[in-house]
């Protein structure tokens, strides 16, 4: 298809246009990072981004997170928080009526951030953004408010050159990515079932600017959370032998899971996309609760676990295998040990991305034009919302976003020069994929 296009801007012109927006980029990202948005309470960041999208004149709608509408989807995860009237934001650039329409793209990113840990470990408070050298610090700066801002900077760069995409460009900012993925699932559901002004058919491709260092994502693992509650037999430690310690049993169960993790990572069990990844599957003990008193054998212990598995493995089957192993270990430790396993949070299958699709080829070529070399392909050891498009729609999708450090850790930061390269690449992608039309600022 030929795009209804003006001559494309040069790579240098795009680079200069993005560079001229440096201060805008830092301000927009700082404002967004300063709005705390832990999963389940993202509204402060949604309000900031909505104002930024409206200031750009984008057609912006709110899409409610309504678990009742999506709970029968195979990609639904048991929520960690009530819906509480929370909403995704879907803004669209619409080319002028009556002009030939180019191809379209949806940029999809999450607003929620993970917990910060103790403030005392940070060099500056996690929700007080700070620039030092090339890095902007703050919780969510990298994962993934930086990527969301890159998409807006890419559009602004085109406009500063008197251009606008000739196709629809969507900017979807979602909730609940870090714990369930139900945010993006809600938008996909709404677009499929005419519950929004926008339609799934508005879009020809999806790009998720997650912070994986300007790589193109080729595949991602599946991820499931589970909670294991062990109940023992409390006792005074003076008579410890009469008790049954569920925390110590929990330690033994975690050791058993590490054995299982090694088995699942074995070369003969690998998905081919992960053949060269050193340790693709990580089982993580993320939380532990239990005990009442140093001098009592405790009553209960609850382990919060995150396990992963390769694309093609059914999430429920993976959970069943893990649960069976844990129950057997608990039984072997002591038949009196009670074990309850519940699933809440991620229940997310892995997936493989079709990077041979013309849209993904166009993105790779845009990266090559900006950087002088082809992008690296990444088999990702985490999950992303890309699965909702890869497994739940016919749209081509990948992740492509800036370089970040210490995401989910302390002193998280994003590289500003990388954000500018990503913004250039996304602008170049819109030029080459959507085509461009003249644009003049409203008077
Ligand atoms: Zn992320």
Contact 303, 250 (CB under 8 A): yes
User: Which parts of the chain register pLDDT below 70?
Assistant: 1-5
Contact 383, 212 (CB under 8 A): no
**Alpha-carbon span 215 to 388, nearest angstrom:** 20
Q: How far is the CA of 147 from the centre of ligand 1 (A)?
A: 9
Q: How far is the CA of 145 from the centre of ligand 1 (A)?
A: 9
Dihedral in degrees, nearest 10, Cα atoms 261, 264, 265, 266: 120
Q: How far is the CA of 327 from the centre of ligand 1 (A)?
A: 32
* Predicted local distance difference test score (pLDDT) of residue 2: 42
* Predicted local distance difference test score (pLDDT) of residue 1: 42
User: Is the full-model pTM beyond 0.85?
Assistant: yes
* Predicted local distance difference test score (pLDDT) of residue 4: 53
The first and second tokens of residue 324, run together, are: 């069976």
Q: How far is the CA of 167 from the centre of ligand 1 (A)?
A: 27
Q: How far is the CA of 36 from the centre of ligand 1 (A)?
A: 15
Q: How far is the CA of 9 from the centre of ligand 1 (A)?
A: 31
The residues placing their C-beta within 5 Å of ligand 1, an ion, are 143-144, 210
* Predicted local distance difference test score (pLDDT) of residue 5: 61
H helices of 266-314, where? none
Q: How far is the CA of 413 from the centre of ligand 1 (A)?
A: 13
Q: What is the DSSP string of 314-331?
A: -HHHHHHHHHHHHHHHHH
Residue whose structure tokens are 């569920």 = 246
**Alpha-carbon span 384 to 223, nearest angstrom:** 10
Q: How far is the CA of 197 from the centre of ligand 1 (A)?
A: 26
**Alpha-carbon span 115 to 23, nearest angstrom:** 28
Q: How far is the CA of 198 from the centre of ligand 1 (A)?
A: 24
* Residue range 134-181, pLDDT digits in tens: 999 999 999 999 999 999 999 999 999 999 999 999 999 999 999 999
* Predicted local distance difference test score (pLDDT) of residue 7: 84
* Predicted local distance difference test score (pLDDT) of residue 443: 72
Q: How far is the CA of 109 from the centre of ligand 1 (A)?
A: 8
């Amino acid at each position: 298809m030929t795009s209804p296009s003006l001559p494309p801007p040069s790579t240098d012109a795009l680079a200069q246009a993005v560079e001229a927006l440096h201060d805008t980029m830092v301000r927009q990202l700082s404002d967004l990072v300063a709005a705390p948005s832990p999963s389940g309470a993202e509204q402060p960041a949604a309000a900031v981004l909505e104002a930024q999208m409206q200031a750009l004149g984008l057609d912006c709608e709110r899409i409610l997170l309504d678990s009742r509408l999506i709970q029968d989807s195979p990609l639904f995860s048991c929520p960690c928080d009530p819906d509480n009237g929370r909403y995704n934001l879907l803004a669209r650039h619409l080319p002028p009526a009556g002009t030939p329409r180019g191809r379209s793209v949806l940029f999809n990113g999450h607003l929620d951030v993970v917990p910060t840990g103790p403030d005392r470990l940070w060099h500056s408070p996690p929700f007080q953004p700070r620039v030092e050298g090339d890095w902007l610090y703050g919780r969510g700066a990298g994962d993934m408010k930086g990527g969301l801002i890159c998409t807006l900077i890419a559009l602004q760069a085109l406009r500063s050159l008197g251009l606008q995409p000739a196709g629809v460009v969507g900017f979807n900012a979602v909730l609940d990515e870090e714990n369930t993925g139900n945010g993006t699932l809600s938008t996909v559901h709404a677009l499929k079932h005419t519950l929004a002004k926008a339609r799934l058919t508005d879009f020809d491709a999806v790009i998720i600017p997650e912070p994986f260092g300007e790589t193109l994502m080729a595949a991602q693992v599946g991820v499931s959370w589970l909670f294991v509650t062990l109940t023992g037999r409390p006792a005074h430690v003076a008579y410890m032998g009469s008790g049954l310690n569920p925390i110590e049993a929990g330690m033994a169960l975690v050791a058993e899971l590490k054995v299982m993790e090694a088995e699942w990572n074995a070369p003969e069990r690998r998905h081919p996309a992960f053949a060269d990844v050193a340790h693709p599957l990580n089982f993580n003990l993320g939380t532990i609760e239990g005990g009442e008193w140093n001098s009592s054998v405790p009553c209960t212990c609850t382990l919060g676990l995150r396990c992963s598995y390769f694309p093609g493995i059914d999430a429920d089957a993976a959970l069943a295998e893990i649960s069976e192993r844990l129950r057997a270990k608990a039984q072997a430790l002591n038949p009196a040990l009670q074990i309850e396993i519940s699933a809440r949070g991620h229940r997310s299958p892995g997936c493989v991305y079709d990077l041979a699709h013309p849209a993904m080829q166009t993105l790779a070529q845009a990266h090559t034009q900006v950087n002088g070399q082809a992008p690296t392909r990444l088999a990702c050891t985490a999950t992303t919302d890309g699965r909702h498009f890869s497994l739940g729609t016919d749209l081509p999708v990948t992740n492509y976003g800036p370089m970040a450090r210490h995401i989910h850790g302390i002193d998280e930061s994003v590289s500003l020069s990388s954000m500018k390269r990503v913004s250039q690449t996304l602008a170049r992608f819109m030029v080459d994929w959507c085509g461009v039309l003249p644009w003049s600022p409203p008077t």
